[in-house]
Amino acid sequence: MPATEHTEMLSVPGGCLITFEGIDGCGKSVQASALANRLSREKYAVETVREPGGTALSEKIRDIILDRGHMEMAPAAELFLYEAARAQLMSQHLAPLLDSGAVVICDRFTDSTTAYQGYGRELDAGFIRQANGVACRDRYPDITFYLDIPWEESLRRRARERRDADRMEMEQKAFFQRVKTGYAAIAHADPGRVNHLDGMRSIEELENKIYVIVRKKLDSLRGVTDETENPRP
Ligand SMILES: Nc1ncnc2c1ncn2[C@@H]1O[C@H](COP(=O)(O)OP(=O)(O)OP(=O)(O)O)[C@@H](O)[C@H]1O
Ligand SMILES: [Mg+2]
């Protein structure tokens, strides 16, 4: 390929880890993929992964976690399985990508464990913090979007998709209310990182809002200011 046709990818020092959070059907996958498309068009090196998953081993663990044949799973066993999947994803896949300056978009991450296993299952918050830290090697998200929808809307969207519930989705309203309380607390405690958005807004409106926040963050991580983008004559 002639040198002139070589496309220069935009690199972010230390990479940028963006996560999408919220209960089932809140729009994580739709927004993660829209954002990835937009950033790819702008020549960022972008990788999208889902949690649990993203490596062969982590996908196998995902199958065990979500299998409705394992309704007997103890809360602590569930926690360790999620952290095992995350530890493998981080060390095998995400850490090298972030080191190379890529933008990594994660459909669920550490906040899911805090919300579901901490608030939902009521496991010890301090222990979950430690376990999350070990699994993600203390590389926490740079930006997080919490898409907030009522539980009833989650059920409506799932019904529209005519999809069977997995093991986690079999839980009842009280469980998801605790999870939502957890997410709200996470967002409240870390407003600089977590953007608590109304997931009932239209897909397009959310997409645009998310893009503006991400662009601002990427510009700041790359040391780009209005001045460097549009130098004065
Ligand atoms: N803002 C929105 N308004 C209306 N419908 C939406 C919105 N966002 C997503 N949806 C629809 O809701 C359904 C679930 O969206 P999506 O798969 O992105 O959710 P999710 O958070 O990834 O769910 P899960 O946790 O089950 O993977 C899809 O049919 C999608 O088109
Ligand atoms: Mg999804």
Q: Digits of tens for pLDDT over the chain (233 positions)?
A: 444 445 689 999 999 999 999 999 999 999 999 999 999 999 999 999 999 999 999 999 999 999 999 999 999 999 999 999 999 999 999 999 999 999 999 999 999 999 999 999 999 999 999 999 999 999 999 999 999 999 999 999 988 988 888 988 888 999 999 999 999 999 999 999 999 999 999 999 999 999 999 999 999 999 997 666 566 65
Element (H, E) at 17: strand 16-21
Q: What's the pTM value of the predicted model, to 2 decimals?
A: 0.94
| pLDDT value of position 225 | 78
d(CA 187, CA 207): 19
Report CA(66)–ligand 2 centroid distance (Å). Answer: 13
Report CA(47)–ligand 2 centroid distance (Å). Answer: 16
| pLDDT value of position 226 | 65
199 alpha carbon, closest ligand: 1
Q: Which atom of ligand 1 is nearest to the CA of 31?
A: 18
Is the CB of 204 within 6 Å of ligand 1? no
Give percent helix, percent strand, percent coil of the chain, each to the nearest 5: 55, 10, 30
66 alpha carbon, closest ligand: 1
| pLDDT value of position 169 | 86
Nearby residues for ligand 2 (ion, Cβ within 5 Å): 28-29
From the list 38, 32, 182, 175, the residue with the least C-alpha distance to 165 is: 175
| pLDDT value of position 170 | 85
Q: Which CATH number fits domain 15-225: 3.40.50.300, 3.40.190.10, 3.40.50.740, 3.60.15.10?
A: 3.40.50.300
Is the CB of 138 within 6 Å of ligand 1? no
The distance in angstroms from the start CA to the end CA of the chain is 35
Residue 7 near residue 43 (C-beta atoms within 8 A):
yes
CA distances from 146 to 58, 63, 164, 167, 188 (A): 23, 25, 24, 22, 11
List the structure tokens of 206.
């959310």
158 alpha carbon, closest ligand: 1
Report CA(97)–ligand 2 centroid distance (Å). Answer: 22
Report CA(11)–ligand 2 centroid distance (Å). Answer: 27
In the DSSP assignment, the letter for residue 55 is S
| pLDDT value of position 41 | 97
Report CA(27)–ligand 2 centroid distance (Å). Answer: 7
